[in-house]
Structure 1
């Protein structure tokens, strides 16, 4: 089965009339891998759209296809990232953990987690890492590279982004980011804490439209296939939740 990775993921911010996730992108090995995955997706009854030259240029990739997952979340599979060969200038961060783990993880809202689980594992080839029972249903955490999870499926009434995570190279990066959030008055979604599944030390902040960004350090690597398990707690400690600020549009109340 073709193998997904999440290396060289681009974050593209574009102007929009409404806040939300335009698409989540996953890297595949090459155009042959992409063709095989397209065959599997279309065999599952889901139409795909091949990216135009202009769309590829915006994403700085050689080629990609786009489609909607069973809940309506837009997904893009790409190959051949266009590299600048220049080091990234990060004046406020020592670096990010990327490489064979990709840029981080994303948690998507899905209307039926079992249908979404079957699609992402059975069609796209993700591996189940663990699950967590929530009041609205089961949340699944899935992997496609050594990162403990690259994708999470969260039960919700409609599709969209719940949060995305970036992992910093040093623990001090998390502390300095926490200080910057405090100094800038950015509202906290979850306080500093440590997760039970990926062992990540992290905190969450709200974006202006109400989505969440997780800043973390020290995530677990999965070197080989491992049995799945079910969590009973999301955090070893910390991660105290704060409701969205008044006027936020991205999250359910």
Structure 2
């Protein structure tokens, strides 16, 4: 019970508690939490986020014989989430709206449900699902030999699905560039993102039966995955080199497919 004699003691203790809690989060709880997930990758206090893509060929959501690759899935999730943005209107971007869109034809494959199921336990009062989508790109690129990308937090999760407009393998060039333009990309950046964005992972018969033939399915590759380049576990420019040089995977199945569309 508070009395005139001890109220000041209680107030002092409350202030010390607030200071102690504040000292644990620099510069604030949101950034401190994201930093923990990003950099505490080993030891007693490891966050466990990077474990999903260690090694970079790992598939955290099922059997390795499926041939899927979580690090590549994370890049695909982020791309499908943001590319339907309309920068002129200030809408869209990385907002986790892709979680409402997984039944769309343009969002085929297991990457979205796999990734959101892994991300879900990391969502809390400070960390939105949208921030985890962004974090996954930074972690994937950093862990798999790619770029070091600055990370910003504070994204607000969408409450509903976003618009249609993800470029598909059969989309024409003009249509594809128009969709990229809506998201703020000129033709040069659109080509660069499309080419280098397909450095990690595979294309699977299960998600793209018109691109990858059923013959790709084997007992050790039950998802029927075909590599995009010869270094599917490394974010590099080999996919472009092999396309231009006509060797290796020659740009991957999205280039070499016999799909008439």
- TM-score norm. by structure 2 comes to 0.30
Q: Which has the higher strand share?
A: 1
Name the larger-Rg structure.
2
- TM-score norm. by structure 1 comes to 0.30
Q: Which has the higher helix share?
A: 2
